[in-house]
Amino acid sequence: MMEPGAITLSTDPAAKDRQFVVALARGLKILGCFTATRPELSGSDLAKLTGLPQPTVWRLCHTMLKVGTLVAVPGDKLRPGLSALHLGHSAISGLSIIELARPHMQEIADEFGAACGLAVRNNLDMVFVERCESKNQQLMQLKTGSATAIATSAHGWAYIAGLPLHERKEIYDQLDAEMPDVWRPVRERCMEALQEYDKTGFALNIGVFHESYNTIAAPIIAPDGSVPYTLNCGSAAVTLSPLTLRKEVAPKLLALRTALQSVFAINK
């Protein structure tokens, strides 16, 4: 019996495709077992995760050790070697942040009956550069290219949250000067969201952008401290309660945010 979370392939693809190389597929299956939460695995671990016979696993690992795809580490364990990491880097560097994020954003949107978006700052607006929607009919009528105000949107609050304190103040001063009628009624709610962000890493916008709409957002912070993008997930209040956003959506949104931030670190 395979361990929970074991990686599976389709049943005997080689029987249907004579061009299919079983040994290569099995080697890739082994590499797919290594993740950020399990960077080092033993041969026994790999056998359990893949469901492959242990002698087969050891032969494949022996080959990958010889060519540097795997390396041995203390404790009779293995981890991906530089050649495997180079392949990962090549794959990441060949795609934009939007291309990398899109399938994961769509997955979050579908799971929670929501919309998931990436946005960038444009003066006192946040502009969607990607938006993935579920089939929920109660979503806001927004799309790629739509702009939302920094003062009232979760994207805007997340952008502010990602900045150092002196840059936050610069935005507050600009909002006070250029759109006081919009900013001042919501300022206290924004400050509350920023206090929560400082503890949790995410900002909630509960009924501020729209009275019957709830949204969670987080900044994507580059190595230089800038905030090139913000990432959000939102839906009608009847679909996403504040509790659901905090307990269920937040972990997945923050995991995606962390993964996207790592791309900036790799490409620095």
The ranges assigned to domains in the chain are 13-92, 95-266
Digit-coded pLDDT (tens) for 139-156: 878 888 888 999 999 999
The CATH superfamily assigned to 95-266 is: GAF domain (3.30.450.40)
pTM: 0.67
Would you say the CATH fold of 95-266 matches that of 13-92? no
Q: CATH class for domain 13-92?
A: mainly alpha
- CA nearest 249: which of 106, 101, 111? 111
Instruction: Place 9 in a pLDDT band, splitting at 50, 70 and 90.
Output: very low
Q: Which residue has the higher pLDDT, 3 or 161?
A: 161
Per the model's pLDDT, the better-predicted residue between 1 and 125 turns out to be 125
Q: How many whole angstroms separate alpha carbon 173 and alpha carbon 175?
A: 5
Pick the range with the lowest mean pLDDT from 60-69, 84-93, 136-145, 225-234.
84-93
| Long-range Cβ contacts of 258-261 (<8 Å, 24+ apart) | 259/100, 259/104, 260/97, 260/100, 260/101, 260/220, 260/229, 260/231, 261/220, 261/221, 261/222
Q: What is the mean pLDDT of residues 198-225?
A: 94
CA–CA distance, 139 with 142 (Å, rounded to integer)? 8
pLDDT in tens, 112-128: 999 999 999 999 999 99
Give the gyration radius of the chain's Cα atoms: 23
